[in-house]
Amino acid sequence: MTVKKKFIAAIGGSDPSTEEEQMAEEVGRELAKRDAVLVCGGLGGVMEAACRGAQSEGGLTIGILPGESRRGANPYVQIPIVTGMGYARNVVVVKSAQAVIAIGGSYGTLSEISHALQNSIPVIGLNTWSLSKNGQQDNSIILAQNPVEAVEQALSLATNQ
Amino acid sequence: MTVKKKFIAAIGGSDPSTEEEQMAEEVGRELAKRDAVLVCGGLGGVMEAACRGAQSEGGLTIGILPGESRRGANPYVQIPIVTGMGYARNVVVVKSAQAVIAIGGSYGTLSEISHALQNSIPVIGLNTWSLSKNGQQDNSIILAQNPVEAVEQALSLATNQ
Amino acid sequence: MTVKKKFIAAIGGSDPSTEEEQMAEEVGRELAKRDAVLVCGGLGGVMEAACRGAQSEGGLTIGILPGESRRGANPYVQIPIVTGMGYARNVVVVKSAQAVIAIGGSYGTLSEISHALQNSIPVIGLNTWSLSKNGQQDNSIILAQNPVEAVEQALSLATNQ
Amino acid sequence: MTVKKKFIAAIGGSDPSTEEEQMAEEVGRELAKRDAVLVCGGLGGVMEAACRGAQSEGGLTIGILPGESRRGANPYVQIPIVTGMGYARNVVVVKSAQAVIAIGGSYGTLSEISHALQNSIPVIGLNTWSLSKNGQQDNSIILAQNPVEAVEQALSLATNQ
């Protein structure tokens, strides 16, 4: 592989709905078909489904783990990064990506969305959070209709930072 | 001082509106009057106004800094904690508090709100973000009408974790 | 209190010898008598003894904790900072201090010594590690004969960073 | 690639001697020939030489960066992990490896050696630090005579954590 590949994060919870899990797997497959590297938090749920999808198409998968051991990674993580930093690792997940696809998710996912927006890393949303402040809608999360659209948006918006 | 005091974080941006800055200063004063310790990110804007308010009433102020030097703290921080970890320090700000008061704020503040909710630390909001997911309002941020109400809510809901 | 006080870290293991524990307690007392703030990792052993000593003389004690809860702090910590970052918190302990006193200690203490030296923060040693590289002694750790001497060295060398 | 590969860190300073740089490059080549993945801090000096060696033999290189941008990586890093956490990233470098080879190095390298020993990750040394405590030599750093021996030791001792 070469450093020219794009690195895209798939973020979402450990306890997704069936639909979200299917979307995550398709996101992983579509990223791998387009030769992108998948970055994720390395655990179960959306993270595992995305890795499984990517691996099924021969893609490379990176899992940035909160715990103390590589054995905490889901079985489809090929590159386990062991931080031992708990959820402070969420910052590393988004900073290591050039764009982020958020699928469903709870407050951990929302923290990753926030850190990405704070760092001007594009966020594409599938069934995820929407934000407003003082009654005004914030449209920074780019809504996608389906995984293919999310992946194409992510790749076209990927920053070079 | 004794460890029995309550630790409350005031979070918000470095570039607040005049109204937000006044609210932050009042939050600081009201926390200090009730003998609570103020935790914040240690920089300017909402953080500085809250520290100024707390110090004016003899309160203790802790600033958890993203940078490499205590000299980055605003002049009202009495206890500078130097992390050198950039915005990963946001996690430390919320975890060190037993409740969080969010005043205005941008994506950095939203990341702190998210980390607090992820850790079951109560969040009280003044002119801040509101959240929804899949079209459903999320009411985890407790809305306060004014700084006194925010401080009283924060102190009554402060966790013991 | 005011920001003019000096912040000095006492570092060392959770399982010290009786002599090291006595030295740590005396370091805490002597720092407090000289109006310095004690920074430590917040747990047991050397950290607890230093906090106990400081508190017995009315000093202020800060514990920068690796875990997820303030309840992990020893009973003499007055300001618990909750990082949730495991031993990455060692970096925060040393960066928050203007000088470091190392008492005994194992590899965790050695990592704190190293981070301090990397950041040009003075390190005073009592019964602690000594270093050499390629057969050449490295004299960066300043040896003290006893706790009073260690405290006086730390206060006179404290950086202003 | 598969998750069965061994992950070995090469650590050392940004300003090595010519001999250390040659050793680092050979360590990189020998790791790649044995199908191991190289983990490093992603910057120049020993890190860059090790990555260059690994890449010359078709090996995979991971750089765990202290800064805010993937552009800070040396040109031979294939997988840049962007932490934005400064030298707290040293912890992530060693935890992501199953054994560590230390080549020369200054206090940053010593902090990595310490974190590795604290986590029971084997450390093999080439021209690097040696440690003693209270006048007693600590032999935890395994001395190697040359890069080939260091790589073979690292692979045979690699933990499974």
Report how far residue D131's alpha carbon sits from residue D142's, in angstroms, rounded to the nearest whole number: 11
Closest Cα partner for A85 from B68, C89, D87? C89
Kindly state the tokens that stand for D113: 């050696």
pLDDT classification of A3: cutoffs 50, 70, 90: low
Contact A86 C87 (CB under 8 A): no
Closest Cα partner for A93 from A109, A73, A106? A109
Give phi and psi for B46, each to the nearest 5. -55, -40
pLDDT classification of D161: cutoffs 50, 70, 90: confident
pLDDT classification of D95: cutoffs 50, 70, 90: very high
Type and span of the H or E element at C61: strand C61-65
DSSP state at residue A36: P
* pLDDT reading at B78 higher than 60: yes
Closest Cα partner for A100 from A89, A80, A115, A88? A115
Contact A84 C84 (CB under 8 A): no
Work out the average pLDDT over D6-14. Answer: 97
Kindly state the tokens that stand for A105: 């998710």
Q: Where are the alpha helices (DSSP H) in chain C?
A: 18-33, 46-56, 89-95, 107-118, 147-157
The set of residues, in sequence order, having a beta carbon less than 8 Å from that of B92 and lying 6+ positions away, is A88, B64, B81, B83, B85, C81, C82, C83, C84, C85, C92
* pLDDT reading at C1 higher than 60: no
Predicted local confidence at residue D146, as pLDDT? 98
Q: Express the helix, strand and coil content of chain C in percent, nearest 5 each.
A: 40, 25, 40
Contact C60 B161 (CB under 8 A): no
The set of residues, in sequence order, having a beta carbon less than 8 Å from that of B18 and lying 6+ positions away, is none
Q: Which residue on chain C is closest to A68 by alpha carbon?
A: C86
Contact B85 C70 (CB under 8 A): no
Report how far residue C83's alpha carbon sits from residue C70's, in angstroms, rounded to the nearest whole number: 10
Report how far residue B82's alpha carbon sits from residue C95's, in angstroms, rounded to the nearest whole number: 5
> pLDDT tens for residues D15-24?
999 999 999 9
DSSP state at residue B86: G
Residues 84-143, chain D, touching A (beta carbon < 8 A): 84-85, 91-92, 95-96, 119
Closest Cα partner for B138 from A131, D32, A27, A57? A131
* pLDDT reading at A81 higher than 90: yes
Q: Could you tell me which chains touch chain C, where touching means 3 or more CB pairs under 8 A?
A: A, B, D
Kindly state the tokens that stand for A115: 């850190």
CA angle, residues D59, D65, D70, in degrees to nearest 5? 85
Closest Cα partner for C32 from C157, C147, C159? C147
Share above pLDDT 90 across residues of chain C, in percent, rounded to a whole number: 94
pLDDT classification of C161: cutoffs 50, 70, 90: confident
Answer for the pair C11, C113: CB distance below 8 angstroms, yes or no: yes
Report how far residue A54's alpha carbon sits from residue A56's, in angstroms, rounded to the nearest whole number: 5
* Residues of chain D found within 8 Å of residue C114, distances taken between Cβ atoms: 107-108, 110-111, 113-114
* pLDDT reading at D61 higher than 90: yes
Give yes or no for D15 touching B (CB within 8 A): no
Predicted local confidence at residue B142, as pLDDT? 97
CA angle, residues A143, A148, A152, in degrees to nearest 5? 75
Type and span of the H or E element at A28: helix A18-33
Kindly state the tokens that stand for C97: 């201090």
Predicted local confidence at residue C4, as pLDDT? 76
> pLDDT tens for residues A96-122?
999 999 999 999 999 999 999 999 999
Report how far residue D23's alpha carbon sits from residue D72's, in angstroms, rounded to the nearest whole number: 23
